[in-house]
Amino acid sequence: MASSTLEPGQVIRPIIDHEGVKALAERLYGISVLELKELNGYDDKNYKITEDPNVKNPLITTHSEHGYVLKIMNSMDTQNPSVVEAQNEIMNFLGTRSITCPKPIRNVYGHLHSIESIGGKQHAVRLLQYVPGELLQVVPKSQQLYYQVGEFVANLDNKLEVRAERGTVVYLNI
């Protein structure tokens, strides 16, 4: 396993263009992309995908009315497969506990993610249902909003504590 310390100048963010993203969506998920928009991301690349209704992946039985996010993880976190596995497990767990969050979608091979060579580096790739909404940074701030955020985070923390007791190790990367 390579170093888990980011060196100055080291590029870990995926290097891929829109045509490469469309090709990944088609090959891994059988999705023909009608619209593609890059979303905000720090070390990962995230793309909102609107699909052509003629999807070939038989594993996608319920299509997401709001589209999908193709997430390409940075090469450093990809070195630790338990990171993406834990994230997928937590999203699935929270989804069964009335927490609105993206749901991982199986690829044409039946897996929730795959490791792909992109720009000469290995990157975990997965597809998630898109959850519409606004980023907190662009919403007008109010005491009510801060209260709601606190209430949501406390509820989320309580549900994750139950999950942690059942064996999921939560990986934090700062």
DSSP assignment of 83-145, as one string? HHHHHHHHHHHHHTTT-----EE--TTS-S-EEEEETTEEEEEEEEE------GGGSPP-HHH
DSSP one-letter code for 65: T
Specify if 91 maps to a domain: yes
Supply the pTM of this predicted model. Answer: 0.86
Specify if 28 maps to a domain: yes
Residues whose CB is less than 8 angstroms from the CB of residue 28 and which lie 6 or more positions away in sequence, other chains included = 107, 108, 109, 114, 116, 125, 127
Q: How far is residue 89's CA from residue 112's CA, in Å, rounded to a whole number?
A: 10
- Quickly state the pLDDT bin for 2 (edges 50, 70, 90): low
pLDDT averaged over every residue in the chain: 88
Radius of gyration of the chain (CA): 17
Instruction: Dump pLDDT digits (tens) for 107-166.
Output: 999 999 999 999 999 999 999 999 999 999 999 999 999 999 999 999 998 888 865 555
Which structural domain range is residue 116 located in?
A: 18-132
Specify if 81 maps to a domain: yes
Specify if 102 maps to a domain: yes
Q: Are 72 and 16 in contact (CB under 8 A)?
A: yes
- Mean pLDDT throughout 31-35? 93
Which CATH number characterizes residue 39's domain?
3.30.200.20
Specify if 152 maps to a domain: no
Which pair of structure tokens corresponds to residue 114? 């795959």
Give the CA distances from residue 51 to residues 58, 67, 170, in Å, rounded to whole numbers and listed in that order.
Answer: 14, 7, 32
Specify if 83 maps to a domain: yes
Count of domains observed in the chain: 1
Specify if 159 maps to a domain: no
Please tell me whether residue 72 adopts helix, strand or coil conformation.
strand
- Quickly state the pLDDT bin for 90 (edges 50, 70, 90): very high
Which pair of structure tokens corresponds to residue 107? 């690829």
Specify if 150 maps to a domain: no
